[in-house]
Amino acid sequence: MVAMIRIPPRLLYLAIALVLFLHYLAGRHHDEYNRVTSVSHLMSKIYPSPLIESNSNADSPIKRPSSLRYNYPNDQPYSDKRANATFVILCRNDQLWDIVRTVREVEDRFNRIYHYPYVFLNEVPFSDNFKSHIATVVSSKVEFGLIPREHWYQPDWIDEKRASQARDRMQSENIVYGGSLSYRNMCRFNSGFFFRHPLMQKYKWYWRIEPSVNFHCDILFDPFRYMEDNNKTYAFTISMVEYEATIPSLWPHIRAFIDENPQYIAPDNSMGFISDYGTGERYNLCHFWSNFEIADLDFWRGEAYMKFFEYLDSKGGFYYERWGDAPVHSIAAALFAPRESIQFFDEIGYEHPPYTHCPKEGDNYERGRCSCDPANNFDREGISCLNKFIRFNYPYTHKLG
Ligand SMILES: Nc1nc2c(ncn2[C@@H]2O[C@H](COP(=O)(O)OP(=O)(O)OP(=O)(O)O)[C@@H](O)[C@H]2O)c(=O)[nH]1
Ligand SMILES: *[C@@H]1O[C@H](CO)[C@@H](O)[C@H](O)[C@H]1NC(C)=O
Ligand SMILES: *[C@@H]1O[C@H](CO)[C@@H](O)[C@H](O)[C@H]1NC(C)=O
Ligand SMILES: [Mg+2]
C-alpha cells in the first residue's frame, strides 16, 4: 500500500502564496529574471526570428542594464503577419551602384525574410538598366515612380533673384549644399510631398533608405510591427544638431505657427527635447537624422502636419534659406506626436557615412552579430542629441510595453 501524505489545504495555499511571493521578489530585484520569464521572451524562443537560425551568439550571456523595464524589440516573437508598409527610396539614376549595395544589405539583414515592397522615386524616369539591376537584388515587389513636376521644382511664386542670391552667399560661406538648387528641391520634396505620391497612398508605414547607407547588424524583429503594436509614430537611430546657418528663420516661423494653431500641439509633446528647459524660446538644433526614418505616413498626411508644411512652404525658406527635411520632420514629430510615440531603435546598427550608430544596450550588439566598431559610435559625439533624447524621454523609451 502506498502511504498517502495528506497536506492540509491551508498549507497548500500557503506554499503557493510563498512561491508567488518569491517570483515577485525575484522579478522586482532582478530584471533579468523578469525578461527571461516574460511571455514574449519565451515566445521568441519558440518562434525565433528566422534570421537567428545560424546565430551561435543567440544564447550568449545577456548583459542588460538591470534598471530597465522595456518591451525589447529583439524579443519580438516571429510572426508571418506583415504590416501595411514599404521601403521608400528617392534616388538618381547615377546612384545605381550605391543603392544596389545598400538594398542588398537591407535584404541580407532583414528583408529576405520579410519581403516588404519597395517604392523608388525620381524626378526623371528610372532607366531600364537601373530597374533591372534593382529587380535582381530584391526579394519582393518593387515599383518605380515619377515625381509630379509641381512636387519637385521650385514654385513660380518664389522670387528667383532672392533665391539665387541666397545660394551664392551660402556657397561663398561654404555651407554644405549651400549653393545647390537640386538639394533644396530634394529637401522640400522629402518634407512635404513623398507621402503624397500615388505609389505611397496604399501604405501606412514607410522605411526610408538612401544610397550608400549600411546596416551593420541582423535585424531580428519587424520594426513596422513593433511600431504598430506599440503605438509608435516615428522612429530614428541617429540624432544630432543642425547647421544653424541653414535655418536662421525656421524657429521664429514655427513659433508663429504654434501661436496661431495651438490646437495641434500634443499635450504630452517633446518640446523638452528640441528646446532646452522646454521653454520653446530657442530651438536647440536637435533633430532626428532623417536619412533613416521608419514612420507613419498618415501622421504626415494628417491635418496638423499638412497645415504646418503649407505654412512653412509659404515662407519660402526651403529656397531663401536651405531648410532640411530633418529639422522640419523632427520638430513636427516633437510637437504634434505624444512623446511616447517617438522610438529610438538601438538595435538597428546604421551608418550614413561619415556617422554610425552602433548598438550598445544589453546584448543588442552580440545578438545582431554586428559589424560596426563599438568604439566608433556617433552616440558619444558632442554633436549627438541622443543623450538629450534619452534623458528627456526616459520613462517612455524604457517602459515595459
Ligand atoms: N531623384 C533625385 N534624388 C536625389 C536628388 N538629390 C538627392 N537625392 C536623393 O535624396 C536623398 C538625400 O540626398 P543626399 O545627397 O544623400 O543628401 P545628404 O544625405 O544630406 O548628404 P550626403 O549623403 O552626405 O551627400 C538621397 O536618397 C539621394 O539619392 C536629385 O536631384 N534627384
Ligand atoms: C494601408 O494604409 C493606407 C493608409 O492608411 C490605407 O489607405 C489602406 O487602406 C491600408 N491598406 C490595408 C490593406 O490595410
Ligand atoms: C496611441 O496614440 C494615439 C496618438 O498617437 C493616442 O491618441 C492613443 O491614445 C494611443 N493609444 C494607446 C493604446 O496607447
Ligand atoms: Mg545621404
pLDDT at residue number 2: 47
302 lines ligand 3 (CB under 6 A): no
Using the atom order of ligand 3, give the atom closest to the CA of residue 233: 5
pLDDT value at position 294?
99
User: Which of residues 75, 108, 125 is at a domain's end?
Assistant: 75
Same domain for 195 and 125: yes
Are both 15 and 146 inside the same structural domain?
Answer: no
Q: Are residues 41 and 136 in the same domain?
A: no
Residue 310 lies in a domain: yes
293 within some domain: yes
Domain boundary among 75, 106, 125: 75
Do 31 and 109 lie in one domain? The reply is no
Residue 340, in any domain of the structure: yes
Q: What is the 3-state secondary structure (H, E, C) of the chain?
A: CCCCCCCCHHHHHHHHHHHHHHHHHHHHHCHHHHHHHCHHHHHHHHCCCHHHCCCCCCCCCCCCCCCCCCCCHHHCCCCCCCCCEEEEEECCHHHHHHHHHHHHHHHHHHHHHHCCCEEEEECCCCCHHHHHHHHHHCCCCEEEEECCHHHHCCCCCCCHHHHHHHHHHHHHCCCCCCCCHHHHHHHHHHHHCHHHCHHHCCCCEEEECCCCCEECCCCCCCHHHHHHHCCCCEEECCEEECCHHHCCCHHHHHHHHHHHCHHHCCCCCCHHHHCHHHCCCCCCCEEECCCCEEEEHHHHHCHHHHHHHHHHHHCCHHHHCCCCHHHHHHHHHHHHCCHHHEEECCCCCEEECCEEECCCCCCHHHHCCCCCCCCCCHHHCCCECHHHHHHHHHHHHCCCC
Q: Give the catalytic positions in this structure.
A: 293
Say whether both 125 and 36 belong to one domain.
Answer: no
Q: Any residues with CB less than 8 A from the CB of 196 and at least 6 apart, and which?
A: 151, 301
Amino acid identity of residue 204, one-letter, is: K
Query: What is the CATH number for 146?
Result: 3.90.550.10
Q: Check whether residue 97 and residue 191 sit in a common domain.
A: yes
Instruction: Give yes or no: residues 46 and 104 share one domain.
Output: no
Residue 57 lies in a domain: no
CB under 8 Å to 232, separation ≥6 — which residues?
226, 296, 341, 342, 343
- Does a structural domain hold residue 108? yes
Question: In angstroms, what is the span from residue 291 Cα to ligand 4's centroid?
Answer: 6
pLDDT of 61: 42
Query: What pLDDT sits at residue 279?
Result: 94
Q: Which range marks the domain in which residue 38 is found? A: 9-52+62-75
Q: Are residues 117 and 167 in the same domain?
A: yes
Residues with CB under 5 A from ligand 4 (ion): 210, 291
What pLDDT was estimated at residue 253? 98
Ligand 2 is surrounded, with C-beta below 6 A, by: 84, 202-204, 298
The predicted pLDDT at position 5 comes to 55
Claim to verify: residue 22 and residue 40 sit in the same structural domain: yes
Please count the structural domains in the chain. 2
Among residues 75, 107, 132, which one ends one of the domains? 75
Q: Do 70 and 99 have their domain in common?
A: no
Q: What is the pLDDT of residue 9?
A: 65
Task: Answer whether residue 80 is part of any domain.
Answer: no
Q: State the pLDDT at residue 60.
A: 42
Whether 67 and 211 map to the same domain: the answer is no
CA nearest ligand 2 atom 5, residue: 204
Q: How far is the CA of 340 from the centre of ligand 3 (A)?
A: 9
Question: Does residue 41 sit in the same domain as residue 96?
Answer: no
Residue 266 covered by a domain: yes
**CB of 229 shorter than 6 A to ligand 3:** no
- Flag whether 229 is in a domain: yes
- Spell out, as residue ranges, where the chain has pLDDT lower than 50: 1-2, 27, 31, 53-70, 400-401
Cα–ligand 1 centroid distance for 322 (angstroms)? 14
